[in-house]
Structure 1
Amino acid sequence: MIALTLGEIADVLHGRLVTAASDAVDTVVSGLVDTDSRQIAPGDIFVAKPGETTDGHLFVDAAVAAGAALAIVEREVAASVSQIVVADVVVALAELAREVVGRVRAAGDLRIVGITGSNGKTTTKNMLARILEAEGETVAPRASFNNEVGAPLTMLRVTAGTRFLVSEFGASGPGEIARLAGLVTPDVVVELMVGMAHAGGFGGIEATFLAKSELVHAMRGGGVAVLNRDDERVRRMAPIALEKDGEVRWFGHSAEADVQATDVSVSASGTAFTVHAGGQALPVRLRVLGAHHVNNALAAIAAAGALGVELAASIARLETLELAERWRMQPLGSDRVRIINDAYNASPDSMVAALRTLAQITGEGERTVAVLGAMSELGEYAGEEHDRIGELAVRLRIQRIVIVGAAARRMFLAAVAEGSWSDEAVFFATADEAYDYLLTELRDGDRVLVKSSNSAGLRFLGDRLGESFS
């Protein structure tokens, strides 16, 4: 974070400053900001966020022991550290992020990119960060820091020398993206897709469209909107950008896209395609698995182009990226039994893409195995969407379908109804039961997809299988 005095921070947060014996109003703080006391280092700021299962105020002493220079709290605690007492630490975190980013932007040439979409945010964020970090100091979220806490924490990592801030914006309901993106008013916004992920929380696909379009509304006047030409709902966001005197840059497989992909091919070693942009046609060889990551790469290339990065440079840097993110199409195991752990998150769209990738990368003499768990946050659509995935697995001729967890049982029933017979489809109530089965069932030449939403916990099953067959 940039250097600020305790008094300046208190003023920004409209909080009450309680200084420690060794501090004064003009004491300068410039460390990182975190809500996890285990991540605190000397000089950092600890935000004592109340949680569902515990309360950050209980860990102020631990943060002090780790070297915290300041605690932002909702009630004063007995600790030997300066404190700023506020009504709501999450609101305070956002206001501090707004102030810090605003000061850096006003003083230098900071450019801000905002990314959203029902799927692909984290992969696209990582791809764009890989491209931009060669251009100058780049701040991007760790993992999927894209909510009301994670997004401001990322913003607060900017320094006076930061050239690019890449922010990822997720949401489980209307208004969340507007609040988060409104903190920084991005120069470039990226809209990946509008799908069924979190549709239950939004209240349907049209409500999801409205929520995702909040990012374009938050774009800085005269900015650039990087939009998916292949997604009908994303195309409807173009007028919003134009109303803000912005530019629209399209990406996708469509011939009308400014950054277009053709000749896509997928193998166990990666994904290849040709990118067409600015009159050039250049080959791309991604190490990341799955045709669905082509659009993520196109979006990153288009956003980088809007920031002045040459096409060839973007491609060269993308080709060095070995993994989108842990638990996202992550290759584990060995050539004998390859495990693809994609169980950090799941929506109907990403589930379809992962299953198709499994079918595409499995060669002659090899066997497809899909280990599938529940997709969360689908609300009233959960039943029919789980049915659809079970049916698709059979239609793609997945040879072993292993369904795990009561919330995913409809996938199993749909697969059986679609024509899976004998022991082609099996159901287990727990991941431990599925693990015991797979230890004896998997054989040389198997290609195994592990896919579920985070809440289903199958990412840990994928890790165990990867270790067992390494």
Structure 2
Amino acid sequence: MIALSLAEIAAVVGGQTHDIPDPSVQVTGQVVRDSREVEPGSLFVAFAGERVDGHDFAAAVVEAGAVAVLASRPVGVPAVVVDDVQRALGALARHVVQKLGATLVALTGSAGKTSTKDLIAQVLQHKAPTVYTPGSLNNEIGLPLTALSATEETRFLVLEMGARGIGHIRYLTELTPPRIGLVINVGTAHIGEFGGREQIAQAKGELVEALPSESDGGTAILNADDPLVRAMAVRTKAKVIFFGESGEADVRAENVRLTDKGQPAFRLHTPSGASDVTMRLYGEHHVSNALAAAAVAHELGMSADEIATALSEAGSLSRWRMEVTERPDGVTIVNDAYNANPESMRAALRALAAMGSASRAKGGRTWAVLGKMAELGDEALAEHDAVGRLAVRLNVGKLVAVGGREASWLQLGAYNEGSWGEESVHVSDAQAAVDLLRSELRPGDVVLVKASRSVGLESVAQALLATGAEGEVSAR
């Protein structure tokens, strides 16, 4: 964080100082909520959770070097005490962002937010120091903490914004007002909470409504290939840039294809020129993510060649998102287990199918180890059934559906589509899936692991990678 005195922090958040001998002392380190992340100069934010109360760690964090604690009650060590710690954190973030003067880029969407954010960050880092949301810390706590990690050297601040209802994104834009706003897509993630795609579009569009006018530098970047996103153009006073594969898009891709490894390649077109891109990431869905990042970079003055070079060098910054690892025995594990919704499931299966061409040349097979997609409401049965059917249509070698009712719908969809007898199977839990795969995998096989975060299927990928490290493999 940029250096601020405790007196200035108290004034910004409307708090009272307690046990602070010298209010001019400055916070020079990071603002953190995890006591394990405290370093000399930090400000520790004490949240009172259901199981852990951060106030109980106050003495320990000060001993570890924290300058003070942002708290809701006196804690016996230097503290700025406020009525509402979360709102105080947001007020501090807004103050720092305004004082910093960096260009703030905000993005939202139903699927691909984190991957797109990671691409934007890596491209912009070619131009100037960039701070971005780590992982998926995109809510009312994670977003201000990310903003507060910016320093005097930061020129670009890339913030992912999530929403679970109407008004959430509007609130986040009040904490960190963006100049550039990007909406990736409107899908079915959290449709059970929102009630429908139109309601999701209403919530996501709050981002472009919050942008400054075109005359004040505001820019909305919208997906031309998604009708609900494209329609958001009328909801903003900002300049509008469209991206996509549509010929009408300002930033578009032509000659899109996948390499034999499943990595996308295409010709990037921007208003300033064209250049070829071959990505290190896996799956054709990353083309849209790359175009979104390219549109942001173009708006910030990068040439087509600069953007293409950066996109071709970019990797995955966030764990468990299409992490591709080849074991010493020749089995490839694709760990995409961080989260899942119908759109990302379809994209991952298509990526697996593309990788399958190379695996079959080695005598290998493709495996889809899939679990529940959460928060789909009344659409849950139909969406799980459709994913199971798609696995068959894409000629995935074997579907392993893991878990309870929703997993049985996946397997049933595959069976009803004309599944290959025992080539689709339903197992009770992650350990059963691991046991099955350990007995069946052979060199050249490619295994995709994917489900909603609550299922915890990353344990399957981790167990299979550990098995490969031990040198175990079936002789089949």
User: Shorter-chain TM-score: what band?
Assistant: over 0.9
Q: Which runs of 4+ in 1 moved over 3 A?
A: none
Partner of 1:236: helix, strand, or coil?
helix
- Alpha-carbon distance between aligned partners in 1 of 2:58 and 2:388, rounded to the nearest angstrom: 48
Q: Which residue of 2 aligns with 1:100?
A: 96
Out of 262-271 and 40-49, give the one that drifted further: 262-271
Given the alignment of the two structures, is residue 394 of structure 1 paired with residue 392 of structure 2, yes or no? Answer: yes
Task: Give SS of 1:272's match.
Answer: strand
1:13 maps to 13
Match of 2:231 in 1: 236
- 1:268 Cα offset (Å): 1.6
Aligned to 2:279: 286
Name the counterpart of 1:460.
459
Between 1:373-382 and 1:142-151, the stretch displaced more is 373-382
What residue is the counterpart of 1:257 in the other structure? Answer: 249
- Between the aligned partners of 1:32 and 1:311, the Cα distance in structure 2 is 35
Q: Is the 8 A contact 2:123 2:314 kept in 1?
A: no
SS of residue in 2 equivalent to 1:469: helix
Verify: 1:348 aligned to 2:347, yes or no. Answer: no
Structure 1 gap ranges (5+): none
1:149 corresponding residue in structure 2: 141
Amino acid at match of 2:2: I
Give 1:72-83 correspondences, 5 Å limit: 72-78=70-76, 81-83=77-79
SS at match of 2:446: strand
Does residue 169 of structure 1 match 2:164? no
Alignment of 1:401-412 (within 5 A): 401-406=399-404, 407-412=406-411
Counterpart-to-counterpart distance in 2, 1:460 and 1:321? 26
Which residue of the partner structure matches residue 116 of structure 1?
Answer: 108
Partner amino acid for 1:101? V
**Offset of 1:333 from its aligned partner?**
3.0
Q: 1:129 to 1:63 in 2, by over 3 A?
A: same
The letter of the residue matching 2:221 is V
The verdict on how the C-alpha distance between 1:436 and 1:61 changes in structure 2, with shifts beyond 3 A counting, is farther
| More divergent stretch after superposition (122-131 vs 228-237) | 122-131
**Other-structure match for 2:129:** 137
Looking at structure 2, the residues matched to 38 and 306 of structure 1 have their Cα atoms a distance apart, in angstroms, of 39
Counterpart in the other structure of 2:433? 434
- Which amino acid letter does the alignment assign opposite residue 278 of structure 1? P
Distance 1:301 1:69, change over 3 A: same
Q: 1:2-41 to 2 correspondence within 5 Å?
A: 2-20=2-20, 23-41=21-39
Which residue of the partner structure matches residue 55 of structure 2? 57
For residue 279 of structure 1, report the CA deviation from its aligned partner: 6.0
Flag the 1:361–1:235 CA change in 2: closer, same or farther, 3 A.
same
Aligned length, in residue pairs: 459
Measured in 2, the distance between the counterparts of 1:220 and 1:53 equals 41
The letter of the residue matching 1:466 is L
Task: State percent identity of aligned pairs.
Answer: 46
Q: Give deviations 1:305-332, integer Å, cap 9, x for gaps.
A: 1111111111111211232521111102
- Output the CA distance in 1 between the equivalents of 2:187 and 2:318: 21
Amino acid at match of 1:304: A
Do residues 361 (structure 1) and 355 (structure 2) align? yes
Q: Deviations over 1:399-436 (max 9, x none)?
A: 21001111422212222222224321111221111111
Give the deviation of 1:389 after TM superposition. Answer: 0.9
Moved more, 411-420 or 224-233: 411-420
| 2:64 is the alignment partner of 1:66 | yes
Q: What is the one-letter code of the residue matched to 1:315? A: A
* Contact kept? 1:19, 1:25, Cα under 8 Å: no
2:445, 2:106 → 1: CA distance?
39
Query: CA offset at residue 193 of structure 1?
Result: 0.2
User: What do residues 292-317 of structure 1 show as CA deviations (whole Å, max 9, x unaligned)?
Assistant: 00010000011011111111111111
Aligned position for 1:227:
222
CA distance in 2, matches of 1:203, 1:185: 28
Indicate which of 363, 368, 378 corresponds to 1:370. 368
- Taking structure 2 as the reference length, the TM-score comes to 0.93
TM-score where L is the length of structure 1: 0.94
Report the AA paired with residue 290 of structure 2: A
Between the aligned partners of 2:427 and 2:435, the Cα distance in structure 1 is: 10
CA contact (8 A) 2:434 2:460 kept: yes
Deviation of the 1:65 alpha carbon: 3.0
Q: Match of 2:285, as an amino acid?
A: H
* TM superposition shift of 1:179: 0.5
Bigger mean CA deviation after superposition, 92-101 or 56-65: 56-65
Q: CA deviation at 1:466?
A: 2.4
Q: CA RMSD in A?
A: 1.5
Separation (CA, whole Å) in 2 of partners of 1:405 and 1:62: 41
> What residue is the counterpart of 1:423 in the other structure?
422
Displacement of 1:374 after TM fit? 0.9
Partner residue of 1:213 out of 205, 211, 222:
205
Kindly state the Cα deviation for residue 380 of structure 1 after the two structures are TM-superposed. Answer: 2.3
Q: Which residue number in structure 1 is paired with residue 85 of structure 2?
A: 89
Deviation track 1:442-464 (CA, whole Å, cap 9, x = no partner) reads 11221111111111101221122
Task: Confirm or deny: 8 A CA contact 2:268 2:304 kept in the other structure.
Answer: no
Q: Structure 2 vs 1, CA of residues 61 and 404 (structure 1 numbering), >3 Å: closer, same or farther?
A: farther
Contact 1:288 1:324 in 2 (8 A): no
